[in-house]
Structure 1
């Protein structure tokens, strides 16, 4: 008597997203701000020798006091209830929630907690794709009990381990693939767990607006709405050929697959950075001649920070570029590729200065950025053991 083959194991992918990560890390430092509207963005932390938890709430700066053009990095859930969110201008946010407490960013501290929570995940689930400072994908498929409960117990264990190690909460979505897992992680925020199975797509995914699919941006959504497509169900109802005719072969086919919850992308456990960049938005638009000293100082500092990032990560690059956004919000980029790899600040500044010669500088400058691409590991094939320094003096229009 033949034994029927065992069913193929379910693929169970988790998307883990830390809850209001930067703001939550700040609340560990300032527990007296728990439950209050708080925004994180811009500014510099003023030295204060008092224990952070002892600083009276009344002494923290309020958003109504802010003057400038900074952008909010993140906000607590209490602030989000007023319509305040990440990437919003702080002046606009001040109109929505003037009494929100304003804190400067502290990326070193956020990176520290990022390393802590990811280390806890790897203790329990060794297959993890790092997607940035506050989110990861995790393959739960082969872990004990996952085939029986869909990953619920493992997701709870990971949540608990992260909270014990960091005091922070996270939201987890578990689904057959990365596309659905990312959507599921938004279903029960904060500190929630959502399980989605393939058979749930019509009831839990199709009623959602198309913008909930990671990969459909505002412009595509506008085009879809113009075609009478508002929900994922309406997108799924369209033939693949119809979508290809209107959105192109590759993107049209992807839209059709995504609407049906199909995504076969593997987890990428090791990835190389494409480039390293730094940029700064000025509090006031700067003029090339009148503010030459300030621009030169900012330009040099950006190059030094990019060089430090490269050296810390063990990379060198040979494509150096700049980005400028003018006072009319138009942005331009230029880059230059050389034969020698480098991670040297002076060399980066010199080559970035050459790029500046190729852009018009007849308007005030709102934003300035420096980028190094075409990266290689230091000491790798074709890359030098130490940062190369190209001959020539530092040259810049600033």
Structure 2
């Protein structure tokens, strides 16, 4: 069975517990190790790893990256994870599970810089890099063996070392014949892992796994499947395509194929942006519109900037509210025309807030753009809204002043109230 030392990169044709050349125990072995070419790369506890990189004294301490007592966990290091802390966990629960954790507010400027460095190293391996989030991506290294003078597994092991040396964080790699299996593989060996799943073993390996191991199968869908007698992937694998279509509709055959480890999706360097939004958690529950409106305005400004940065405009807006009991409410409104101007976004979302502000206490508010449309034709105006170009010009002038003199150079009056409430 082929093997690879991930420390000195020595290759061997037989399975070994330790490297014969350097004695390292970090040896990867798999029958298809040197033929697999689709990789899922995931930075280990990324935000927390960046913070530990910059503060070495925290190396052995449990670190949580997130907001205040009312916020949620953005990331937790592996020390904190052993205590039961998980991403997206309410902060009060995280601190109850790990009271001695060091809590650090997110610094996205640092994280974006580190992410871009990792991305540059990925693109030195192959042009086929599809970013999945700030800390993970999928790569297709097919046909790169001549370029690197080594199989993809070896190139990835060298890449992992470069990331540690140059960026100061660790990564885990899943290697497989397709994207789905690579994603499942990377979860099997963290941190600093290199795990493989081959085509020949995929169906048998997945059969005993719960349906929730498939990306996109959340608790609600899993409960529905369980009610129909399907709790493991093996149970889904037994279905013929016609039966899968009858039971689950048009997506049924695809679901069964994924349960067998089949996935024909290519790696696309440019992933379509599906949504752009901005949200914040209040320092205390709010119920009065007058308290929430200034915060909502500032979120509209943030959303407008994000749309402009990505070259999109909003064809409609979505209001997101989370109650004190964590119940989620979303409300949608279409715009008369595509826009990237906060005034237009705010005017559309404000009536939605007025209807929901019925005395309920809310802990979170957010606004999103839906649908996203091409930004070039935004805010052109028409007979129904002739002022749109003027609003766009005012916003552009304000942004120009901020770029030159700083964010505090000019502000809309409605943004000045309620600045203590979580934003």
TM-score (normalizing by structure 1): 0.81
Partner of 1:260: 260
Q: Does 1:270 align with 2:242?
A: no
Aligned residues between the structures: 359
- The structure 1 residue matched to 2:322, chosen from 320, 325, 330, is 325
Q: Give the aligned partner of residue 71 of structure 1.
A: 72
Q: CA deviation at 1:180?
A: 0.4
Task: Report how far residue 31 of structure 1 moved.
Answer: 1.0
SS of structure 2 residue aligned to 1:188: coil
Partner Cα separation in structure 1 for residue 102 and residue 346 of structure 2:
37
Paired residue for 1:23?
48
CA shift, 1:123, in A, is 1.3
Mapped to 1, the partners of 2:299 and 2:254 lie a distance apart of 38
Partner Cα separation in structure 2 for residue 149 and residue 201 of structure 1: 25
Query: Is 1:359 matched up with 2:384?
Result: no
Match of 1:374 in 2: 371
Task: Mark the CA change 1:25 to 1:361 in structure 2 (over 3 Å): closer, same or farther.
Answer: same
Q: Quick one: structure 1 residues 388 and 148, their matched pair in 2 at CA, closer, same or farther if it must change by over 3 Å?
A: same
Instruction: Give the structure 1 partner of residue 306 of structure 2.
Output: 309
Find the counterpart in structure 2 of residue 197 from structure 1: 198
* C-alpha deviation, 1:328, in angstroms: 4.0
- Identify which range, 370-379 or 105-114, moves more after superposition: 370-379
Moved over 4 A (4+): 145-150, 384-391, 393-396
Change (3 A) 1:343 1:223: closer
Q: CA deviation at 1:274?
A: 3.0
Contact 2:36 2:177 in 1 (8 A): yes
Matched, 1:13 2:14: no
Q: CA deviation at 1:146?
A: 10
Trace 1:1-398 onto structure 2 (pairs within 5 A).
12-43=37-68, 68-144=69-145, 151-246=152-247, 248-288=248-288, 292=290, 294-379=291-376, 382-383=377-378, 388-390=389-391
Measured against aligned partners, the alpha-carbon deviations of 1:282-317 in whole angstroms (never above 9, x if no partner) come to: 23211216xx2x323211211111122223333332
Give SS of 2:334's match: strand
**How far apart, in 2, do the equivalents of 1:389 and 1:275 lie?**
27
* Aligned counterparts of 1:272 and 1:229: Cα–Cα separation in 2: 32
Question: 1:72 offset after TM fit, Å?
Answer: 0.9
Deviation at 1:264, TM superposition (A): 0.4
Alpha-carbon distance between aligned partners in 2 of 1:213 and 1:148, rounded to the nearest angstrom: 34
Greater mean alpha carbon deviation, residues 221-230 or residues 83-92: 221-230
2:17 corresponds to: none
Deviation of 1:220 after TM superposition, in Å, equals: 2.6
Unaligned runs of 5+ in 2: 1-33, 382-387, 393-411, 419-423
SS in 2 for 1:82: coil
The residue that corresponds to 2:31 in the other structure is none
Q: Given that residues 278 and 299 in structure 2 are in contact (C-alpha distance below 8 angstroms), is that contact kept between their aligned partners in structure 1?
A: yes
SS at match of 2:333: strand
After superposition, the CA RMSD in angstroms is: 3.1
TM-score by length of 2: 0.76
Question: SS at 2:133's partner residue?
Answer: coil
3-state SS, counterpart of residue 190 of structure 1: coil
- How many angstroms apart in 2 are the aligned matches of 1:389 and 1:198? 59
The answer to whether the Cα contact below 8 Å between 1:121 and 1:162 also exists between their aligned partners in 2 is no
Task: Pick closer, same or farther for the CA change 1:146–1:252 going to 2, 3 Å.
Answer: farther
Seen in structure 2, the aligned counterparts of structure 1 residues 213 and 378 have a Cα distance that, compared at 3 Å, is closer
195-204 or 301-310, which deviates more: 195-204
Secondary structure (helix, strand or coil) at the match of 1:278 reads strand
Q: State the distance in 1 between where 2:309 and 2:255 align.
A: 39
